[in-house]
Structure 1
Amino acid sequence: MKLTKSNQIKFILNPILIGMLGMSVQAQAKTDVDDNGYAMVVTANRSAQSISDIAATVLVVEGEQIAEQVKSGVDFKAALANLIPSLDVGSQSRSNAGQNMRGRTALVMIDGISLNSSRSISRQFDAINPFNIERIEVISGASAMYGGGSTGGIINIITKKGSSEELGIHGETWIGAKSGFNKREDIQYQVAQSISKTTEKMDARLAISYDQAEGRYDADGDMILHDFAQTPSQFVSQLDILGNVGFDISDTKRLELMAQFYDSGQDSDYGIDYGPSYSYLFDPSRELEMVEGYDLDDQARTKRIMLAANYSDSHFFNQTLNVQLYYREESLRFNPAPNGAFTNVSASEQETSVIGTKVVLTAQPIDQLKLVYGADLEFEQFEATQSYYNIGTAAASNGLVYDPIGDAGRYPDIDTTSIAAFLQAEYELNDSWNLHGGIRYQYTNIKVSDFVDSEQQYAGLIGDTTNYDAIEGGSNDYSNTLLNAGILYKINEEQQVWLNLSQGFEIPDSAKYYGQGTYNADGSVANSVNVSDSPLEGVKTNAVELGWRLNQESLSTQLAAYYSISDKEIELQDDFSIDVIDNDVRIYGLEGQLDYALTNALSVGGNFQYIVSESKTDGKWQDLSVTTASPSKATAYINWATNITNTRLQTTQLFDYEDANDEEIDGYNTVDLLTSVRLPVGSMQLGVTNLFNEDYETLWSQRADVFYGLTNLTDFKGQGRTYSVNYNVKF
């Protein structure tokens, strides 16, 4: 780590970094807890269980903790990284691209419904307003109990429901704004309202939140460049409508329904000045700027509809039955950018629809043995279009004006069917020792349509060719048996140690793998990537973890050492397609968090992750590329709380990283000040993010520098000092 004198001063504000030991189970505000204060969670083994009985690294982040961060101006993705040790720092763009857990992909869910898809688009956190989050359950490391994409861990976002301790009608209001006071566009504001009703047999909640973000500015007062690839979070309006209703059918049976409409769209008059004919891109020394005059009708957007029905019966033939039916439909649109050869300008829109069901049964045939078993079934349809624009108009306007000329296919249509069965067992040897083990069998079928390479379709669109053949599609099957095993030793009621082994499986992005091809002059296929000749291989990961946790009245801490190895490496090609190569990839490290109450008013804490990421190339282990490797990081805080006010000073440090090709990530440090004041009615939150106005490039920006090779175009600076105010009231 390289620390300037300024950074050293900032770290003095965080004495806990010197003696930090491990990771805590966060204070539980609403989550059910056991007799020793450990939270009850449902994600780890897919049934309600105390954290103290789980042989894995488990963390619960309460909605109040998320609210404290975001109401004080902290970006949602940054807030998650502040509170989850194994999660990389956020991008500050719309995307969570490159935001890994334990150096690998994470499975993100809302109420147990996966937001991951066969097409690996990283907008899982562009999915819900924090106003609607009750808590987040986090499992670090590979999981054999869930499908693909969970090799790094699981983040399950639990939404607020209408249930309340009091019968009647209740509500909650948020009103907030934040700004760096740079220019008139430097403003973001939010208003959110919920109403809930609870009777003896029914509870319901309806919430509407609206967030409007204008421009964002860096530490020098300049508007931050739009993320041309993953799309920005500037000039974006977000609407989240979420409804839940629950019915107690009987003393043992309950039905819950959930519906969400989420729309996050950009409407910007500002764009990147690329220069005449995009000439500024060819001068890396030139600093690109944002200017007015951006003219694009269909700007970047995330639109999602999600429906779910959950039925539970706690006395189903002496078992507990949980059944979930769900449907998710989403459209993800990107902004136009020139292709690598500057022969066209285009933007993609990618649509996914998913329908599925999960059945989970929990049984206890004898006192010492608990069984959780069931099945998952999911069917996904994916298709993508590419919108092309007049390249002459775009080039003449410095890349600001986009005149559409037509649409074509972007990727092959892909249908994915997944069927899985699982069994998880927990056996209590005695009061101190618990054994855990499980198995998951998963069958996945991927059906790829016939497809014409997108460049060839563009040639047809503009009339350069009228004859071209399709690249043949096909079907590919994947059958996997995933195992997990663990042993937990309870030292006493307050602390445990554990050892676990788990397997994960991931099918790489099928769309970015298939459908690539080159053509002869007569339109026939010269070479291609297709199912028959080069079927896509899956990646299997084996992981082991050794951990310890302690939960006392004034001290909560947890520490885990982990090691994971996968049998293949996913490699990005120059045309942004992917290949799967037979290189082992190993990632290992240490993660932890600590919270300690020094007095009734003063507490300190923090978390960290030390991580090493390597691939085996030509028989030698080498550091992974900066485009995928997770740098180590640490956070710390000091908190002062009274009956009237609460003040939290927190810092995040990203450490330097250098890969085998001498590409570097420069670490940076930010400090935030969060304050809340209880008023006679409601409360007010005041915040200052990036307190010292640190000038830095985000982690995603530095990854993108290498990923795209266009340093001036990927100079995405971090947001400068920003002030926020929020008022909230419950009734």
Structure 2
Amino acid sequence: MVLKTSFTLLALIISGQALSQENKSEPNQTQQKSKEQDIERIIVTGSRIAENIDEVPASITIITQKQIAAQLKVSSEIQSLLANLVPGMAPSTGSSSNSGQTLRGRSPLVMIDGVPQSTPLRNGSLGIRTLDASVIERIEVIKGATSIYGNGAAGGIINYITKKANSDKALSGHASISSRFSAVETEDSIGQRYEAGINGEINNFDYVLNASYEENGLQRDADGDILGLKYGLSDAVMQDYFAKVGYHFDDEKSLQFTYNYYESKQDVDLIDQVGNINTGEKTQAIPVPEGQTVLGEPQGPSNHNMMLKYVDDEVFKQTQLMVDLYSQEVDNTFFYSPVLANPDAGYAGGQSLINSDKKGLRVTFNTLVDFSFDNGDSLEATFIYGIDALNDVTSQSMVDGRVWVPEMDMENLAGFLQTKLIYNNDLVIKLGIRQEDIDLTVNDYSTLKLCKSAEQCSVPVDVTGDTLNYKATTYNIGIKYNALPLFSPFVSYSQGADISDTGRLLRTATVTDISLIRTEASIIDNYELGFSSDFEQVHFEFATYFSTSELGTTNKFNATTGVYMPVRAPQEIYGYEALINYNINDAWAVNATYSWVEGKNTEADVYLGAKQISPPKATVNVNWNPNSDISVAINYLYVGDRKRFEQVDGKFVGDQGPIDSYQVVNLSGNYNFASDWSAFIGVENLFNQDYYPTKSQGYTYGGYNIKGLGTTVNMGVNYQF
């Protein structure tokens, strides 16, 4: 028996930041490119430790810092970045909300360095925009239900891995300034963005400091009209402040503290002229008419994240210890809505606010043992085990003081074991189990009386609170065979335990005891089959999947009260994805993807709406780098039709609007005009396509039918030292 460690993978990631800065003074570009490709093959999200992507029997997308930098030349919006680069990710909503932007038809769990950012107890669908893209080193997307990180990962995981310090300098940094404006109608559309950061390593200390500040102008469609304000980004101010400080006690032990604050607020002196998807009239923003005023406070999210991480690579023989202590505070302020009215109590409308306060602890052990046999065979066994503890306190109140969703206090303790066996470097077998124990406490509360009109009001109900307990054991197993580069297949089965959006169930309760509300956890079973193929210059991936859930949640309109009521029923979702990367030569590279997904409520045998299921999506990304100073990228997005529903009483309802196809082309370029200076330009919607995004077509709710952004130009300069 021969024992060895594989923690050099983790060291490779930690030392990789210098490569990701695209240092033009690197003498051996071929060697640098090889190292960068090796780093891109490492992932930390799937099993909570560093491992090669070839050892993961699942569909994975890794977005590199180079890809992030290219997308930032067009827009700082992470939603668009994910839609353009991740197969299975629904198209961007074109707004601050990611409602409807699912991953394979289910909600993903969004994380920063493994710390949950989503608010699954009352999912406000604002989790994707939780930090500025400039502080992200890479994004790891794991698709399919998983319980490896706990509640909320019904569709998979999106993990933002933040930047690390360079290891070869005490001080290095960068600064960027840019301006963004509508090329259709420039009036009041000009915005600006400032971003800068420093990082370095001094003795045993390393640090990263970064700040960004962005002010949008008015966002205009292909006709030059101002986009509607519901979850809008016109005149929005985004700011992000990031700090990471690390100390290495020795070669094996380190401590790292990370803090990030992000805020996005839309404060605009406009009101919506609400259209109607059934009549084809778009919703757009207009100046406030005389005699009217803007109601409500600025809408948008803000959040604080603090993380403390301790690593001991050899806490005992062949075993690594990682301890993560984290805290997150979220405040998501939504738009003012007249539907949240109660005339009898003096409320002409309302504006809601989700508050979520999370505190968590993760303890992870990683033990690796290698066996060598007399016949030359080898077996590498990895055991990942530990505990997760989380306290999540979430509520949704009105800005005026009314309580819409009572405070939900969740205590979650989970133990897990993941095993990975690699036989002769070719056959990978993964097995895992996780035991969840969740207590959810809700005190006595009363549902709100809300009136859509004078004749349509919900009936308030006094509900007796309780502590609900959920216990769930989930399993996963996966097999991957890597002996043949031309055909490397995998098959997997994974489960996830999900109690997401309990708050939506509580606020629409029609019974007098919380125990009678259908708040049961849903177990998602995910089956996946796929393969990858590598030729000399071509990489190809294909995967097909099928997932079921005993209690999915959809909505049904109650014509008496004017409220959309949750419907809990079994669901099945299925689809397939394909990806191809073709490195034509040193100057040209092409990436193309295609995704198709469908889903049904199996109890009623009806299709699921746009809140979960997106139409077919295809993307093509072409990159041209004729030399080290010039780069040009073209991004093409095609969204297909999806028309599964009939009209009800002459109109489409809920999230069942018909979706027509559309296509958008983006262009970006970069030129290094001096040793430390570069200029860039990006054009979003190059051909000024006049279209409604998927969500704007599928959602028939008032004020959601907002057109997509018209041709918008972004240009600026970067300085790096």
Q: What is the 5 A alignment of 1:189-228?
A: 189-227=192-230
After TM superposition, list the pairs within 5 Å mapping 1:447-526 onto structure 2: 447-455=441-449, 470-492=462-484, 496-516=488-508
Relative distance call for 1:617 and 1:101 in structure 2 (3 A) is same
Could you say which residue in structure 1 is the equivalent of 2:580? 594
Alpha-carbon separation, structure 2, partners of 1:32 and 1:144: 34
1:714 aligns with 2:708: no
- In 1: Cα distance, 2:101 partner to 2:697 partner: 13
CA distance in 2, matches of 1:209, 1:74: 11
- Residues 543 and 34 from structure 1, CA distance in 2 versus in 1: closer, same or farther, beyond 3 angstroms? farther
Within 1, Cα distance between the matches of 2:578 and 2:260? 34
The answer on whether the counterparts of 1:356 and 1:377 sit within 8 Å (CA) in structure 2 is yes
Structure-2 residue corresponding to 1:381: 393
Q: Deviations over 1:578-612 (max 9, x none)?
A: 534333x2211211211111122122221111222
Do the aligned residues in 2 keep the contact of 1:687 with 1:723 (CA within 8 Å)?
yes
Shift of 1:75: 3.3
Shift of the 495–36 alpha-carbon distance from structure 1 to 2, 3 Å rule, reads farther
Distance 1:39 1:494, change over 3 A: farther
TM-score by length of 1: 0.85
Rounded Cα–Cα distance in structure 2 between residues aligned with 1:425 and 1:282: 51
**One-letter code aligned to 1:614:** K
**3-state SS of 1:498 partner:** strand
CA–CA separation in structure 2 for the residues paired with 1:380 and 1:321: 25
The reply on whether 1:703 has 2:698 as its aligned counterpart is: yes
CA contact (8 A) 1:437 1:485 kept: yes
Give the match for residue 436 of structure 2: 442
Paired residues for 1:328-727 under 5 Å: 328-339=328-339, 343=343, 344-367=348-371, 368-387=380-399, 406-455=400-449, 470-492=462-484, 496-516=488-508, 527-528=510-511, 530-551=513-534, 554-574=537-557, 578-583=565-570, 585-618=571-604, 620=605, 622-643=606-627, 644-661=629-646, 663-680=657-674, 681-705=676-700, 708=701, 710=702, 713-727=703-717
Alignment CA distance shift 1:33-1:312 (3 Å):
farther
Give the Å deviation of 1:428. Answer: 2.1
> Take 1:283 and 1:424, find their aligned partners in 2: how far apart are those partners?
51
Name the SS for the 2:79 alignment partner.
helix
Deviation at 1:35, TM superposition (A): 9.3
CA distance in structure 2 between the aligned counterparts of 1:730 and 1:251, rounded to whole angstroms: 30
Residues 71 and 176 in structure 1, CA contact (< 8 A), matched pair in contact too: no
Aligned pairs, number: 654
1:126 aligns with 2:129: yes
Using a 3 Å threshold, how does the CA distance of structure 1 residues 204 and 726 change in structure 2: closer, same or farther? same
Q: Which has the higher contact order (CA 8 A, sep 6+)?
A: 1
2:340–2:450 CA contact under 8 A, matched in 1: no
The 5 Å alignment of 1:155-194 reads 155-161=158-164, 163-181=165-183, 182-194=185-197
Taking the aligned partners of 1:297 and 1:545, their CA distance within structure 2 comes to: 46
User: Shift of residue 730 of structure 1?
Assistant: 1.5
Deviation at 1:469, TM superposition (A): 8.0
Deviations 1:258-286 (A, max 9, x none): 01121211211111146xxxxx8899576
> Letter of the aligned partner of 2:96 in structure 1?
R
> Would you say the 8 A contact 2:207–2:243 is kept in 1?
yes
Q: 1-side partners of 2:285 and 2:110: how far apart?
A: 33
Structure 1, unmatched stretches of 5+, are: 1-27, 275-279, 388-405, 459-467, 518-526
**Structure 1, residues 347-385: CA drift from partner, whole Å, max 9, x if none?**
011211000010110002443211001111000112232
| Distance (Å, rounded) in 2 between the aligned partners of 1:283 and 1:141 | 34
CA–CA distance in structure 2, aligned partners of residues 612 and 33 of structure 1 = 39
Shift of residue 536, structure 1, vs aligned partner: 1.0
Question: Deviations for 1:181-219, whole angstroms, at most 9, x for unmatched residues?
Answer: 414211222101112231231101111100111211111
Following superposition, the deviation at residue 298 of structure 1 comes to: 2.0
SS across alignment from 1:197? strand
CA distance in structure 1 between the aligned counterparts of 2:638 and 2:566, rounded to whole angstroms: 33
- Corresponding residue for 2:95? 93
**Aligned twin of 1:523:** none
Separation (CA, whole Å) in 1 of partners of 2:197 and 2:367: 37
| d(CA) in 2 for partners of 1:354, 1:724 | 36
Cα drift, residue 111 of structure 1: 0.6
Query: Residue by residue, what CA displacement relative to the aligned partner does 1:87-106 show, whole Å, maximum 9, x if unpaired?
Result: 11111111111101111111
C-alpha contact (below 8 Å) 2:595/2:616 kept by paired residues = yes
CA contact (8 A) 2:428 2:481 kept: yes
Aligned partners of 1:586 and 1:285: how far apart in 2? 32
Whether the 8 Å CA contact 1:512–1:577 is kept in 2: the answer is: no
Which residue of structure 2 lines up, in the alignment, with residue 313 of structure 1?
312
Q: CA deviation at 1:116?
A: 1.7
Tell me the distance in 1 between the aligned counterparts of 2:243 and 2:187: 35
Secondary structure of the corresponding residue to residue 171 of structure 1: strand
Partner of 1:39: 41
What one-letter code is carried by the residue in structure 2 that aligns with 1:434? V
Structure 1 pair 365–637 and aligned structure 2 pair: CA distance change class (3 A): closer
| Cα distance, 1:509 vs structure 2 | 1.1
Residue 66 of structure 2: aligned partner: 64
1:653 alignment partner AA:
Y
Identical aligned residues as a percent: 26
Question: Which runs of 5 or more residues in structure 2 are unaligned?
Answer: 1-18, 22-32, 372-379, 453-459, 648-656
Aligned alpha-carbon RMSD (Å): 2.7
Q: Deviations over 1:479-512 (max 9, x none)?
A: 1111001111112367622111111121131111
CA distance in 1, matches of 2:593, 2:451: 50
Distance 1:552 1:485 in 2: 28
Check conservation: 2:556, 2:565, Cα contact below 8 A.
yes
CA distance in 1, matches of 2:327, 2:90: 29
Q: TM-score, normalised by structure 2?
A: 0.86
One-letter amino acid of the counterpart of residue 69, structure 1: Q
Given residue 550 of structure 2, which amino acid in structure 1 is its aligned partner?
D
Provide, for residues 314-362 of structure 1, a one-character-per-residue CA deviation record: whole Å limited to 9, x for no partner. Answer: 0111210000000001111112111178843110112110000101100
- 1:299 is matched with 298
* Deviation at residue 654 of structure 1 after TM alignment: 0.6
SS in 2 for 1:246: strand
Match for residue 269 of structure 2? 269
Aligned partner of residue 636 in structure 2, secondary structure = strand
SS in 2 for 1:701: helix
In the other structure, the counterpart of 1:144 is 147
Query: Could you tell me which amino acid in structure 1 is paired with residue 625 of structure 2?
Result: A
* Cα deviation digits, residues 23-56 of structure 1 (max 9, x gap): xxxxx95799699776111100111100011111
CA pair 561-435 structure 1, distance change in 2 beyond 3 A: same
Residue deviations 1:148-201 (CA, integer Å, cap 9, x gap): 22121111001112x213121111112111111414211222101112231231
Distance in 1 (alpha carbons) for counterparts of 2:212 and 2:335: 25
Instruction: Report how far residue 132 of structure 1 moved.
Output: 0.6
**Residue identity opposite 1:358 in structure 2:** R
Paired letter, 2:55: D
**Equivalent residue letter for 2:316:** F
Could you tell me which amino acid in structure 1 is paired with residue 69 of structure 2? A
Counterpart CA distance in 1 for 2:42 and 2:600 is: 36
User: What is the CA–CA distance in structure 1 between the aligned matches of 2:298 and 2:487, rounded to whole Å?
Assistant: 52
Query: 3-state DSSP class of the match of 2:122?
Result: coil
